[in-house]
Structure 1
């Protein structure tokens, strides 16, 4: 967080930023730190935690270590829904958030539903293939929107790459109610939801309702991913890399994984955001590009493993 507040691509360097943090009189530095970088940092905290927790939940309900919002069509569904609203002229952020969450819900439901029709939901490769196909289809439709509507093309193109630049506190405040609701519900059902990692029969044998738990988990994922996508655009691989790191540190137990995702998700997103500011300074590299560069090797490493880790 400190690095995110003091490191930037512009003329306000580390020393001027530190002086502004402790009450310096440099008006330009104070504006950059408190009005530009602080909202960006807070948005990064929420987006990182939301995507990491959503990825961990998806992996548990599908019992698949490769499940991730960007790979299972959740982010793509959310992004396409927002792109449609932008092309229709929508400017109200609250409307965009609701549409993004609905798109995330439909995207997740479609991919999980297709793979579970014949009982293939636990096959990691089939699940990823279905998610990749669905994501590619929605990405193509989004590109079609860019060609059709030149008026909204610049706004859609800037938003669809995934970035924290230019985000305001108003954006964060608009998305916080749905994120807080998802977090509250998750705290209440985290213990029974952990039983899904044992399979539906074992979960039912422990007195839980696997179908209801899975539906509730999908709704939580939609709220988290939809909210994160509405304010930062689609940011890939955070939901894959962070749960992978959390399980490596704390083991496979869901509640421990979720707790570790809360600091590790923001750590990854903010670190990538700070690096993106310096790689091509004075310009900035889109955050979604950098997370993909980090996440793709991790996905390849997991897929190439002799035996995929089980959940």
Structure 2
């Protein structure tokens, strides 16, 4: 498996090299864009250890408190949502699956609302625990529905996800309306934003993301074989139930980590996984690699655009991605690739 992951065809090396170069450009733009009057000259001087820049307390605050945390958060959140979507698409054999469309995000949000209102959660670990509980519930329902539907049209699973999101969203809104303090704390975060990211929070969730990533890599071979169908996979010795439990755990951790620091950001997972599958349609470990790269590029690029769009104010990146992602989803479905999804069986 490691050999196949290294031996990439020329076009995949081209995509990887081009994406990495573009990522470096976006990282620089992210560090030089946003609150404050500091641009590339000041930021580069600070990062290179210029004594004059290091002595500027305001510059240090802008970089260490505002720009660096949200840049690192974009890397972690973008990769997490992309890999979670790739796992869910593979486990459900549904090319439209992603945490936002299947109601997993809404489940994580509901879990966090319960933690805020009834247990006074304020720490990053508290957010992570309660978001994990809600995401786990959403994933259990989604994978359960997927097993019941079997080979039915993937669009049915999406419709079930929409209904699930409505239920979780309705419960969350009802609870928040009865608690104004939690509503104020929750309102901006619920739009999906990286602006409140903190270095400590990113550092706290990164080990959890790495654990989820290690589990995802371990599942790649079995999930690839399961694309032939459960019967064939079982004939090859694959324990499909155990694999789906692994997907449940990994996708729950990915989703909860992303939501605990950025809120419910939709469409990133779907778009990144779709692009990753275009680059590598078969080998799941390669799909995850390219999906993670695209997820980071999309989220980082959208976050930079959100800072520019309505200056001197800032648009929540979740709102911007909804405006961009919804038409993209419709366009992709209407094009040849997913046209069959419109025929609900």
TM norm structure 1: 0.93
CA contact (8 A) 1:115 1:130 kept: no
Q: Which of 221-230 and 201-210 deviates more?
A: 201-210
Q: Summarize deviations over 1:3-47 as a string: whole Å, max 9, x none.
A: 111111443334433333333424222321233211111111010
CA contact (8 A) 1:9 1:283 kept: no
Q: In structure 2, what is the equivalent of residue 23 of structure 1?
A: 49
Q: In structure 1, what is the equivalent of residue 242 of structure 2?
A: 212
Q: In structure 2, what is the equivalent of residue 283 of structure 1?
A: 313
The Cα of 1:87 is off from its aligned counterpart by 2.0
Q: Summarize deviations over 1:73-125 as a string: whole Å, max 9, x none.
A: 111100111122112321132122011112111101112323433x3464211
C-alpha distance 309-197 of structure 1, shift in aligned 2 (>3 A): farther
Q: In structure 1, what is the equivalent of residue 138 of structure 2?
A: 107
The match for 1:12 among 32, 38, 56 is 38
CA contact (8 A) 1:277 1:284 kept: yes
The secondary structure found in structure 2 opposite 1:252 is: coil
The match for 2:254 among 218, 224, 229 is 224
The Cα of 1:306 is off from its aligned counterpart by 4.4
CA contact (8 A) 1:9 1:281 kept: no
CA contact (8 A) 1:62 1:121 kept: no
Q: Summarize deviations over 1:137-183 as a string: whole Å, max 9, x none.
A: 21222222231101111111121111111211111122123212111
Query: Which structure 2 residues correspond to residues 1-311 of structure 1 after superposition, within 5 A?
Result: 1-24=27-50, 25-26=52-53, 27=56, 28-88=58-118, 89-117=120-148, 119-120=149-150, 122-306=152-336, 308=338
Q: How far apart are the structure 1 equivalents of 2:180 and 2:309?
A: 30
Q: In structure 1, what is the equivalent of residue 10 of structure 2?
A: none
CA contact (8 A) 1:17 1:30 kept: no
- The number of equivalent residue pairs is 309
Q: How far apart are the structure 2 equivalents of 1:147 and 1:245?
A: 39
Unaligned runs of 5+ in 1: none
The secondary structure found in structure 2 opposite 1:308 is: helix
The secondary structure found in structure 2 opposite 1:69 is: coil
CA contact (8 A) 2:217 2:285 kept: no
CA contact (8 A) 2:224 2:282 kept: no
Q: How far apart are the structure 2 equivalents of 1:181 and 1:148?
A: 37
- Bigger relative contact order (CA 8 A; separation at least 6): 1
Unaligned runs of 5+ in 2: 1-26, 341-345
CA contact (8 A) 1:52 1:242 kept: yes
CA contact (8 A) 2:107 2:165 kept: yes
Aligned CA RMSD, in angstroms, stands at: 1.8
C-alpha distance 120-250 of structure 1, shift in aligned 2 (>3 A): closer
The secondary structure found in structure 2 opposite 1:290 is: helix
Q: How far apart are the structure 2 equivalents of 1:10 and 1:92?
A: 27
CA contact (8 A) 1:76 1:138 kept: yes
